[in-house]
Amino acid sequence: MAKTKTWRAIDFLKQPENFPAKPICVLFGDDAFLKSHASQALRKQLLTESDAEFSLSRYEGNQTVFSTVHKELAMMTMFGGGRRVVVIDDADSFVTKYRAELENYAAAPSQTSSLILLLNTFPSNTRLYKIVESSGFLADCSSLSEREIPKWLIEWASREHKISCDIAAAELLVDFVGTELGLLDQELAKLSLCLAPGEKLTAKTVQQQVGSWRSRTTWEMLDLALDGNVPETMRQLDLLLQSGETPVGLLAQVAYSLRRLAAATQLILDAEKQGKRIALQSALEQAGIKRFVLQKSESQLKKLGRNRGEKLSDWLLHTDLALKGDSRVAPRILLEKLLLQIAAPQLRLSKT
């Protein structure tokens, strides 16, 4: 194992038995899928199946108080192995409010209980971070980079779904589904049912099975938006939402392509600042655009223009945060706004 006391969630999930749980455990980062699976792995270490019903308590961070949590941690269970586990979901506000109490507890925690905090952020310059890093369990559940995801997919497919997957299949799956790990895991689960025992998952199988009506319609919707066809874009959005697609899932799929257009725009702008020129196709290739869609992407980026291309990353970030709770606006309206920003520059919408 590495010497650092801050583990990456993907490394922990490969071999949880090599990373023993502690009386206080913190899982932090923006990837809900990694946090959920890391939390499950910790609970499996700490509790047997017979323990779980009587010895596990869960609280929402903004709806509980430290005194309640502390009583739970101090309580001895009458059943199972005697160990208690308390999980605090969305614990950022809880940590902010009870930082001093948590620091005191983390310095001398109960040895018969474990506290698991699920956080979005956990600054490394805080006293609590340093205490947990020194004597607790600390796992970084930040989103994987786009380059890491195909390799992760291959390993996850083998470990969790017992299927062999080649790199071409993994890359195509990301192209179809996007970069949200939960959605990719769902597709792997479906694909595992389509394969004969010992059969390898190939790009051809992904094309046949995942290139479904929904996936094709999502890409068609994005193509229509980039072409400026607002009425047909909204019709496709209606079809997808009515078919059961979620706004978060749709954003994950379209964001994968849009981030590449944003990256290509930034490469061009950075080159110009240095007094250089870079060909549009070259910028798109460097941004990760596949050759078979290079011509279409070049046409789309020209229609999008550098001003909107430069704003894409901000638009995507704002929409993602809004869909995950930063806004009270209906999710459908948030998606419509993003698509209009892409499709209708004449509306002069702000970047937020």
The residue with greater pLDDT, 325 or 213, is: 325
The residue segments making up the domain with residue 295 are 213-347
| Closest C-alpha among 189, 186, 318, 178 to residue 249 | 178
pLDDT recorded at residue 230: 92
- Do 183 and 248 belong to one domain? no
Residues β-bridged to residue 140: 8, 28
- Do 18 and 71 belong to one domain? yes
Q: Residue 243 CB: number of other CB atoms within 10 A?
A: 10
CATH code of 89's domain: 3.40.50.300
Strands 6-8 vs 113-119: parallel, antiparallel or unpaired: unpaired
Using DSSP's 3-state secondary structure scheme, residue 210 falls into: coil
Identify the helix (H) or strand (E) that includes residue 341. Answer: helix 331-343
Residue 351 to residue 190: CA distance in whole angstroms? 38
**pLDDT digit string (tens) for 74-101?**
886 555 456 889 999 999 999 999 999 9
Beta strands in the chain (DSSP E): 6-8, 24-28, 56-60, 84-89, 113-119, 137-140
Contact 229, 237 (CB under 8 A): no
Instruction: Calculate helix-pair angle for 331-343, 230-242, nearest 10 degrees.
Output: 150
In a domain, 65, yes or no: yes
CATH code of 176's domain: 1.10.8.60
In a domain, 352, yes or no: no
CATH code of 307's domain: 1.20.272.10
In a domain, 1, yes or no: no
The residue with greater pLDDT, 136 or 176, is: 136
* pLDDT value at 142 more than 80: yes
Contact 336, 234 (CB under 8 A): yes
Residue that terminates a domain, selected from 140, 172, 189 = 140
Over range 134-142, report the average pLDDT.
Answer: 94
Q: Where are the alpha helices (DSSP H) in 136-180?
A: 149-161, 167-177
Q: CA torsion angle for 212, 281, 146, 172 (degrees, to 10)?
A: 30
Over range 234-245, report the average pLDDT.
Answer: 87
| Confidence category of residue 243, pLDDT binned at 50, 70, 90 | confident
- Do 181 and 222 belong to one domain? no
Predicted TM-score (pTM) of the model is 0.64
Residue that terminates a domain, selected from 140, 157, 181 = 140
The torsion region of residue 114 among left (phi > 0), alpha (psi -120 to 50) and beta comes to beta
Residue 198 to residue 192: CA distance in whole angstroms? 11
| Closest C-alpha among 206, 304, 213 to residue 260 | 304
DSSP code of residue 24: E
The torsion region of residue 49 among left (phi > 0), alpha (psi -120 to 50) and beta comes to alpha
Using DSSP's 3-state secondary structure scheme, residue 348 falls into: coil
- Do 82 and 197 belong to one domain? no
- Total structural domains in the chain? 3
Residue that terminates a domain, selected from 209, 236, 257 = 209
